Amino acid sequence: MTFFNGLKSMALSKEFKREVKEHQLKEEEAKRTERVGDREAERWKKIQLEKSRIQAALVKFDLETSSIGETGTWAMLLKVSNFVDGKDDLDSWLMRLERFAAMRQWSREKWASSLSRLST
């Protein structure tokens, strides 16, 4: 009987060791998953901060260039070429300027005065 008790004890001991090892592996996997989650959260936070920084820079740029009024509009128009009669196609030039103004979200009320500066 003692021999069988010893075998039974050894089997239980092996089973216990296996369960302990499984538990340790599960804990290690949970820690690894947590670290990955932490890295992912940190990466997401950096992305959000960069996105906020870029949005703030865009707002600042828009305020400096188009919301100031005629001064900002004129500064932007300096980047657009003047119309040269005989060299430029008027329709193409106007379409290009309209796309430029629409892209910069200028109010249509300012288009005429802004475009007249470039056509003279």
Cα 77-83-87 angle, rounded to 5 deg: 145
**Against a cut of 0.95, is the pTM above it?**
no
pLDDT tens sequence across 21-42:
898 999 999 999 989 888 998 9
pLDDT tens sequence across 107-116:
787 777 766 6
Q: Which helix (H) or strand (E) element contains residue 83?
A: none
Look at residue 51 and tell me whether its pLDDT is greater than 60: yes
Look at residue 73 and tell me whether its pLDDT is greater than 60: no
CA–CA separation, 80 vs 41, rounded Å? 44
Average pLDDT over the chain, rounded to whole?
74
CA–CA separation, 18 vs 22, rounded Å? 6
According to the model, what pLDDT value does residue 62 have? Answer: 66
